[in-house]
Structures are given as C-alpha cells and as structure tokens.
Structure 1
Amino acid sequence: MSVFDQALSLPEQLDESPEAVSVSAEAAILGACMMATRDYDPVPDAARVLSDEGGDWYRPQHETIWRAILALHARSKPTGVPMVEAELRRRGDVARVGGFVELSQIASQACTSVEVESYAEIVHGYARLRRYQQTLTRGMQMARQSDPTGIADAIAAHQAELEHLAADQSGEDGLFGRFADGLQDHLQGLETTVEAAAVTGLTDLDQVLKMRPGNVIVVAGRPAMGKSAMTLGVALANAASGRTTLVHSIEMGQSEVTNRVLSSRSRVALHHLMEGGPAVTDDDWSRIARRLPDLAALPLWMDYTPRVTPGLVRTRIKSLIRQTGQPPLVVIDYVQLMYTDQRNSRQSPYERVSEVSRELKIIAEETGAVLICCAQLNRGSEYREGKRPQTSDLRDSGQLEQDASGIILLHREDAYTPDSPRAGESDLILSKNRNGPTCTITVAHQFHYSRLRDMSTETDLNA
C-alpha cells in the first residue's frame, strides 16, 4: 500500500481534502513524537523524511511544535508534552500553538511507532505538491509579464525551478546507513580497474588527474595564459575518445570557437582563418578537408548562449544524458561570467560566484557529469617574484577552491619574459587534486594552432 493510500485510511470524520489529510498526518507525527518512550524514539524517522529547510508543514503551529521537538531532541531531552510546552514557553511560542491543552489534544492523535515514517512521507508529499502548484502559478505569472525578447530567460528560470523541485532529496535512505552495509560491494568493485570519466588528451596530466563522475575541475589563469585553448583542447580530445562532451562558450562566439577548433585539429594557422579570404591557402583547405569527417562525427555539443545559469547547465546535461545515455564532460568558459538562477541584481560578484560554484558542484554530483570551469585570477601573481599563480589568487570567491576536486593554474614564463629559455612552454600547476598528487606538468603551447600539446615530439607529430 502506498503512503497516499495510507492517507485515505486517516480518521473518517475528517474531510478528504488534501489540506485536511495533511493536517491529520501532521498531528499523528507530532503526537507520536510527544508520546516517545525510552525504547522507541520516532523523531529521527520523521526528521529523515521531512525537509530540513522547513515548509513541509501545512499548519504553521505544527511546524513551531516540530522545531521545539527537534531542539529538545538535539539536547537529548525528553520530547513529552510537558517538556515541549516548557520549550515553547521558553521560545515565547506557547500561546501561538494553543498551549498545553492543544498539545495534549495533538498527543492523543498519535500514530503508532511503525507508522511515523509513512505519515512523514504523506506530509512531505503534500508539501511537494503545494510547491509544484506554486511553481506553476509563478510560471503563469512570468509568462504574462514577459516580453517576446525575454521569453528564453523566463523559460530557463521556470525550468530551473522545476528541476530543483524534481531533485528533491528528502528521504533518500540510500545516502544514509552503516559503513559496513556497502563495504563488501565496494571491495568487489576494487577488482575492476576504474576508467576515468573524462580525458584531457595530455598524457602526463591524464596520469595524475583522474576525473571521476561528479568532479568539478577549475582551470584558472591570468588573461592570455591559454585557458580557452587548453579547455577547448580537452573538449576535443574527450569527444575524440567517444565520450559525450558539451562546451558552454560564454566569452567567445560561434565563429571564433569554430576557427579555433579547425586550427587545432587541422593544424592551420589561426590567423589565416581569422582573416579569411586569400589568407586561407590551398594547403589550408586540404588540411581542413581531411579533418572534416572526423569533426562531423565527434559527440561534441556547443552552446553559445550568452546568459548561462546553473539551471541551464543542468537542463543541457540532462538532455544529453537522455540522448546519449552517458553523463557528459562539460566545459564552461568562464565561470565568472555566469548568472545565478535567482536573477538577484543586488548580489555582489562574490555572492554570485559563490552561489554559481555551489550549484555547479551539486549539478555534477546529481548527474555524474564532469565539469571543467575556466576562471580568472586576480592580479596577485603580478606582484609576486616569478609571477607564478597560487590558488589564493582565484578571483571573486574562495568557494571555487572549496568546491573543486582539482585546480589547474596556468603559467607561462614567456608571457612576462619573451626571451626566456622556456619560450613555448606552459606550466600546468595542479595545486589541488583530490584524486591524486599535486604537481606541475609542463606542456608545449602552440597558440598559432590554438592548442596545448605534450612535450614529446613523437606525440605532437602524430597529432
């Protein structure tokens, strides 16, 4: 019997409206919590299902009582009627909930101990139904207020709300349990080599940076260090391996990105393609023609939408999962240009980037995608001897550092000293790596082809 079938078995004297059923289920839960015994404590069972953020309770008085019960439980105090009444009195809420008489009446409606979790699912289910109705109402209001030029933003905002509602995680018991419960399965899984969820195409980097489902990798550097060239190269290499790949190009438009892809894969000088016309030689056209079949077959998707939000990223990822059956590698160039789904104009850059960073981490974990986010660094390295960047140079938010599974800082000596003996070399400083060691990897930059390559001559010749 489902929890909503159980809802129909609630006291017959109540009317069968959803509100009445929810109120009755709420009273049954609170009553059970106030009738707890030493042998059975129903509070954790209810708390596991009901939202931590509140809003599941239809009657505000019931939520006030629930908060008092949780506060007592957190202090290891009894949750009987007298103690709950005293806690409410301490908080100044006792009159609002109806006092001792009302608490006693609620306690008399207690369900049995084994029913508490099912009743909590009823309450949470009706709360989700109310949120769904409210979301649809807001969607209609947005539709009436939107002008034709802003309809895409309105749809994206509404879709983000629906995605957030659909991603409800309350009652996910699979995320909670004894350590030993999944130990045997994990040990058996160790017998199989775990393949990386994505590859970079740079041999040394792939050996140390094992990108797993749900990882967020930040590629950061000062302007002109090669962030876009590196991440676009990673996207192309990952797609060439047969893995689904998505690029959100916020900074560059379609023409510029397409020229970079053609230059990188065909080894045609980028400035030829940027200039066009006679600058593109017959040899260039031959090189491009040889690569076109491979490029056309790549499982590579591009998104040039200028206003990218976490909600849009989630929508694109889920769409690709439905199409291809696998979570994609997602490149975002770059994260400080993203908007939040809240569209709050009063947010500071720090608050906006922090919110975006946290949402991207949640999306990666929810979907199993790997996210690679380009990020700008502040000027801190410019005043440092050697000009080498540090993780603390990340602009606008320390949340990026906290949420990232890996951080790659790009540095070129020849950007500051053109006659450096290391001209043509880029350092990939792996300053954070949850899945392996931190180190510095040196690669060759070929910006005339808009790409970074392994230092090995053999590897480059075979590209």
Structure 2
Amino acid sequence: MTTDTITAPEQQTAADQDGEASILGACLLATPAYDPVADAARIIEPGDWYRPAHETVWTAITRLHGQNQPTGLPMVVAELSSTGDLERIGGRLALSQMVQAACSAGEVEHYAALVHGYAKVRALQATLGRGLQMARQAAPDAVTDTVRAVQTELDFLAAGDRDTDRHFGRFGDSLDEHMRGLETVTEAAAVTGISDLDQVLKMLPGNIIVVAGRPAMGKSAVTLGIAIANAASGRPTLVHSIEMGQNEVNNRILAARSRVSLRRLLDAGPAIQDDDWTRMQHHLGDLRALPLWMDYSARVSPSRVRHRIQTLTRETGRAPLVVIDYVQLMQTDQRNSRQSPYERVSEISRDLKIVSEETGAVIICCAQLNRGSEHREGKRPQVSDLRDSGQIEQDASGIILLHREDAYDPYSARAGEIDLIIGKNRNGPTCTVTAAHQLHYGRIRDMAVLNDD
C-alpha cells in the first residue's frame, strides 16, 4: 500500500503565513523615519489575515498607530498585555520571531498585496463552498433564487477593490472637478409626471424614494403613473409588480392612458364600448414603444433587483428608474425563516439602499402604513406610521405619504384631491403637493394639466 499521496491540508491553504509574519515584523521595527504601518494599512483590510494571532497583533499595531503611538516591540507587548492577548498569540517569543522575519521597507506593499489577494481567494472558495451547499439543499423551484444569491456574493467580491478605490480619496483631489460640474444644471435621474412634485423632489442617482399609505389610498396608481411618465420621457424604467399580476397592470395602464373606465376593462367583453376600443387603439403605438420593463414575479429579492438593473443598464446605457410594489412583500436574499417581519424589512431596506448606490438607479418603493393615522384627528399620516421597520425611514432619501380626505368622507369639499405629503426630503423642502386622483381611470393627474388629455 503506497503512502505517497499528498493529503496535508496545509499545502492547499490559500495563505502566505510567512508573508504575514514579515509584514508584522516590519511594523514592530517601525521608527519615526520608517513607518510601514500606513503602507500596509492602505492594502490590508480587517479579516485579511489567515492566522488569528496575526490578526490580533495587527489590531494592536493599528490601534497604537491610530493614537499616534510608536508601534515598536515594547509598545505592542504592553498593548497586548493590557488586553490579555499576549499569551494567546504566543507571547514575546512569537513577536520576536516576527521581528526576525521582518521584510524590508520596499517589500511591505508587495507582501501586503499578497495577504489581501489570498484573503480574496479564501473568500471566493468560501462563497463557492456555500453555493455548493445551497445547491445541494435547493428545491427545484428555487434554483434561480439560489443562483442569484451566489451571484450577488461573487459580484461583491469582483467589485470589492474597485468599489473601495472609487469611494476613497483625498477630499481636495476631486474638488476642482466638482466645481466644474456646478456650472451645469444637475438633471434629475427620473421624473414623476407631476410638475409640482418634480420641483421639490429631485430624484438623483442612488436615491431611495418611499411612497407610503394605507390600503386603497392610491399607492399603485401614483407609482405606476410615475413609471409611465418617466418612460414617456425616454428614460428606461423597471417595475417589479409583486402585488398585481400582468392583466391587472395592463388594464391600469390602458385605463390611465386612454381614459377608459378601469371597471369596464376589468369586466371586459360587452362592458367595453366602441369608443373605449377607439381610445385604446389610439395609444397602443406609444405604449408599445415605451422603454418600460415589467417583472411580475411574486418572489423578488434585492439581488433580483440588482441583476435586473444591471441587465437594463447594459442594454440601454443608463440606470433605470425602479418601482417596487411593494417593499413589505419582498424576500431577503438569505431567506431566513426565523427572521421577524421587522428584521426582514430592515435587511431588505438596507440591501436596496446598497443596490441603489452601487448601480446609480433611483428606486421607488411602495410601503404600507400602520393604523396610527386612523386614530389621529384629521387622519393625516406621519413618517412614524411606516409599518414593520424604522430602517425604511433611515435609508430613504424621500418619503411621500398619501392622504385623501374623501377616502374617509365621500362628501368632503376636497373630493377628487390627493395630498402627496413629503415627510422627508434630502434634496429639497418638506411640504405637501396636491394632485387630482381619477381612480376610476386608475391614475393621478397633475393639477396643472388636469384637462390636458
């Protein structure tokens, strides 16, 4: 029986432990004239070290360096002793061996790049390992979601260094470019089709806008109207319709654009009159040409949104406006059954914010409100009424709360009006914009062009 098969896991480990020790040794020899800590810290990120002991020593070194303290051997020994970590890392002997293995000043960045690179290799191996485990456990109808979850992690690994470089730099280096940019009017990334709303709510790349209201208050009418108006302006638009199916959305769009009773379209057949057919035919050409994409999947997660955005950006050359109806129906990428609704919505909200910032897309999310406003005099909603998570309020650049007096009093003097209460607005003032609702057509109209059809 032969015994020459190589099975030692150490030979397959993606790490350069000698390189790690040489970097730490160089840092332990630092002097005011020779500071390798800053050079290494520009490349090495937390968690990059393979050996936990090396990570502990590096943490002590960077903590001292951040306090403008020397990082020589005596100071690091004292720091590790104060935290109770000296013996855990092997004592003074281990630190002395690092000093003996110290690399030269010119080699620090080289070894730091290796340490960081091997950390990415290990992260890739771990991601593929998790992917394999998820594949073994995946149900036949969940394969696509599993692929997207793994792809999201791979995308993050692929973009990690580029993303860090893009977001890090000296303030003054970009100031001249910013000043030149101020000479040109900043164009909104998306439009709502309601002129008063566009004036106060400037939607910029990376913004999350929340449209919230009680059931049947007009959330879908508002957001679908925004999607159509934005697409009609020539901007690519994506709608994730989780709550409504394809037929219902088609009927709403046809009714809104053609001024055909939504009720008659829902009944169909003889209920649709000859004049209705004529009106709809008149708008079909324009509707077919809209740069509008629909996703009717009932299972939408942030990773699915990301991939749809990336697909449309490649196809159109521009990040789309994204409408999600609505956020509390979304799924997390982790699909953790033990999460509470609060934890699930918080995770979704944060992930969508990251997706929006990384892709440059404006994301408009419908959201439900709790019953707080119904017990309040006047029944006007507040931002604090957002259901399931305060994280939504924190992540949003703008929050629009919907209120209709005639929803509670059909005989109100303001029947036919809807208040768009801007409860949060990072790009402008908080105020109330009034529009006209024509819910029998499934649409919200700008008061300024109410009769312009």
TM-score by length of 2: 0.93
In 2, Cα distance between equivalents of 1:141 and 1:366: 28
Aligned to 2:37: 43
Given that 1:338 and 1:356 are in contact with CA atoms closer than 8 Å, whether structure 2 keeps it comes out as yes
Aligned to 1:235: 227
The CA deviation at 1:20 is: 7.3
Given that 1:19 and 1:58 are in contact with CA atoms closer than 8 Å, whether structure 2 keeps it comes out as no
Structure 1 SS opposite 2:345: helix
Structure 2 SS opposite 1:323: helix
When structure 1 is superposed on structure 2, of 116-125 and 268-277 the one drifting more is 116-125
Aligned to 1:72: 64
- Residue 30 in structure 1 maps to residue 30 in structure 2: no
The CA deviation at 1:164 is: 2.8
Aligned to 1:378: 370
In 2, Cα distance between equivalents of 1:205 and 1:41: 55
2:359 to 348, 367, 380: 367
Aligned to 2:7: none
- Residue 395 in structure 1 maps to residue 387 in structure 2: yes
Given that 1:49 and 1:171 are in contact with CA atoms closer than 8 Å, whether structure 2 keeps it comes out as no
Shift of the 121–462 alpha-carbon distance from structure 1 to 2, 3 Å rule, reads: farther
- Residue 108 in structure 1 maps to residue 100 in structure 2: yes
Number of aligned positions between the proteins: 444
Shift of the 375–272 alpha-carbon distance from structure 1 to 2, 3 Å rule, reads: same
Deviations 1:322-370 (A, max 9, x none): 1111111001111111111111111111111111111111111111100
2:239 to 247, 254, 268: 247
Provide structure 2 residue ranges, at least 5 long, that are not aligned to the other structure: 1-9
Question: What is the identity percentage for the equivalent residue pairs of Structure 1 and Structure 2?
Answer: 66
* Matching of residues 168-317 of structure 1 within 5 Å: 168-169=160-161, 172-317=164-309
Structure 2 SS opposite 1:432: strand
Aligned to 1:455: 447
Structure 2 SS opposite 1:193: coil
Shift of the 115–377 alpha-carbon distance from structure 1 to 2, 3 Å rule, reads: farther
* Matching of residues 414-453 of structure 1 within 5 Å: 414-453=406-445
The CA deviation at 1:177 is: 3.0
Shift of the 113–446 alpha-carbon distance from structure 1 to 2, 3 Å rule, reads: farther
- Residue 152 in structure 1 maps to residue 156 in structure 2: no
Aligned to 1:3: none
Structure 2 SS opposite 1:172: helix
In 1, Cα distance between equivalents of 2:14 and 2:290: 56
In 2, Cα distance between equivalents of 1:287 and 1:83: 82
- Residue 410 in structure 1 maps to residue 402 in structure 2: yes
The CA deviation at 1:312 is: 1.1
In 1, Cα distance between equivalents of 2:11 and 2:163: 24
- Residue 84 in structure 1 maps to residue 67 in structure 2: no
Instruction: Report the residue type matching 2:452 in the other structure.
Output: N
TM-score by length of 1: 0.91
Instruction: Report the residue type matching 2:451 in the other structure.
Output: L
Given that 2:255 and 2:261 are in contact with CA atoms closer than 8 Å, whether structure 1 keeps it comes out as yes
In 2, Cα distance between equivalents of 1:393 and 1:171: 35
In 2, Cα distance between equivalents of 1:169 and 1:142: 26
Deviations 1:27-86 (A, max 9, x none): 23222222222234333443333334x2x1122221121122233334433222222223
Shift of the 250–20 alpha-carbon distance from structure 1 to 2, 3 Å rule, reads: closer
Aligned to 2:5: none
Given that 1:18 and 1:126 are in contact with CA atoms closer than 8 Å, whether structure 2 keeps it comes out as no
Given that 2:14 and 2:119 are in contact with CA atoms closer than 8 Å, whether structure 1 keeps it comes out as no
Instruction: Report the residue type matching 1:229 in the other structure.
Output: A
Shift of the 17–297 alpha-carbon distance from structure 1 to 2, 3 Å rule, reads: farther
The CA deviation at 1:189 is: 1.0
The CA deviation at 1:279 is: 1.0
Provide structure 1 residue ranges, at least 5 long, that are not aligned to the other structure: 1-15
Given that 1:218 and 1:374 are in contact with CA atoms closer than 8 Å, whether structure 2 keeps it comes out as yes
The CA deviation at 1:126 is: 1.5
